Amino acid sequence: MRRYLKPRDNGYLMEAAACSKLLKELRRIEAKFVRAVEKETAIRQSEFETVMRYSSEQEILDDYGWGFLTEAQYDRYRELYEKGRAALEDLPPTQNKLTLQLVRRIIADLDAERREWEFSALSPEDQRAELDRAQRAQNEWKEKIAELKRQLDWDDPQEQKEGVK
């Protein structure tokens, strides 16, 4: 694609460049929170594996009684032991997980805005060509989805019986 470089359009390109610069920083922040969420998940998994080594709730109570576990650990271990993996998977999202979701939403919005600024900087002819290209891509995608749906319907045993009759 060619760029339409009138002074007004150069401002559009500057906005797009600013968005790209901010996106780079947001992706760095996203990676930071991905690591934090993975670390939290690993800690939870490790805690679950520790709890599953106990053969009964009485053993957990004994460790609590001897002072090997804090009261909070005892409560958590007892809950994990009673509910099993469901207690691990049904936890509410952590602050880091919510922050990661928020950062990803901001990245998606900013990336859409960057694409809009870049599109605005194109000449009218290039804009039409880009819109045509996007429409063709969308039509090809719809055709591919329709083809996949037809293939899935054919694999349906009910449909095969009806097709044989």
Is the pLDDT reported for residue 154 higher than 50?
yes
Cα–Cα distance for residue pair 35/100, rounded to 1 Å? 10
In the chain, the largest separation of any two C-alpha atoms, in whole Å, equals 79
pLDDT of residue 157: 53
- pLDDT digits 0-9 by tens, 21-70: 999 999 999 999 999 999 999 998 998 899 888 888 899 888 888 888 88
User: What value does the mean pLDDT of the chain take?
Assistant: 87
Residue 53 has a CB neighbour count (10 Å cut-off) of 7
Q: What is the CB neighbour count within 10 angstroms for residue 117?
A: 19
Higher pLDDT, 86 or 96: 96
